[in-house]
């Protein structure tokens, strides 16, 4: 390998280490950054291998952090989180492991809070009955919640 390519590869490794030291990154995001630096495929593979061997990058750590943040801060459900992680090229088994790290009761509370707010907004718009139900279900599924979760919420809400 020519000396210029070796130097570029080393600079890319140092840059990616700096990025990974600040926050978690998906491997696919780092590969995209390396491709923009016009590294050869062999150099990209070498940099990624170094990052993973030195524990700078881990798709599992990224998936856990992403899942926790989206469940806690954005009130996303498991399906939307899994879809977003699949878009990043994260393996299905890693996604399952990451979701297992999410505090499920807390995620359910966040879902209820988000749906309560949407319910109130729909009532202010004059929605009721089947129309309110359809819109609430649509909202919940867009947030990544499953049918069973929404049904449970609806039954609990209508008991009150």
pLDDT digits (tens, 9 = 90+) for 37-81: 989 999 999 999 999 999 999 999 999 999 999 999 999 999 999
Both tokens assigned to 11: 């600079």
Q: CB of 108 within 8 A of CB of 72?
A: no
- The H helix count followed by the E strand count for the chain is 9, 0
Please report, in angstroms and rounded to a whole number, the separation of the first and last CA atoms in the chain: 71
| Other CB atoms within 10 Å distance of the CB of residue 20 | 20
Joined tokens for residue 35? 């491709």
Domain positions in the chain are 3-57, 60-100, 104-159
Task: Give the pLDDT of residue 160.
Answer: 63
Residues of the chain where predicted confidence (pLDDT) is lower than 50: none
| CATH architecture assigned to 3-57 | Orthogonal Bundle (1.10)
């Amino acid at each position: 390998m020519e000396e210029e390519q070796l130097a570029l590869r080393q600079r890319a490794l140092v840059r990616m280490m700096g990025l990974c030291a600040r926050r978690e990154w998906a491997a696919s995001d780092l590969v995209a950054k390396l491709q923009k630096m016009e590294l050869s495929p062999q150099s990209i593979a070498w940099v990624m291998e170094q990052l993973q061997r030195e524990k700078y990058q881990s798709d599992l750590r990224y998936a856990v952090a992403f899942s926790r943040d989206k469940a806690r801060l954005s009130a996303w459900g498991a399906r939307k989180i899994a879809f977003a992680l699949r878009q990043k090229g994260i393996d299905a088994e890693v996604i399952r492991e990451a979701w297992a790290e999410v505090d499920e009761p807390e995620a359910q509370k966040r879902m209820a809070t988000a749906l309560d707010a949407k319910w109130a907004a729909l009532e202010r718009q004059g929605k009721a009955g089947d129309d309110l139900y359809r819109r609430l279900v649509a909202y919940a599924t867009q947030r990544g919640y499953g049918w069973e979760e929404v049904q449970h919420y609806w039954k609990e809400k209508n008991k009150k």
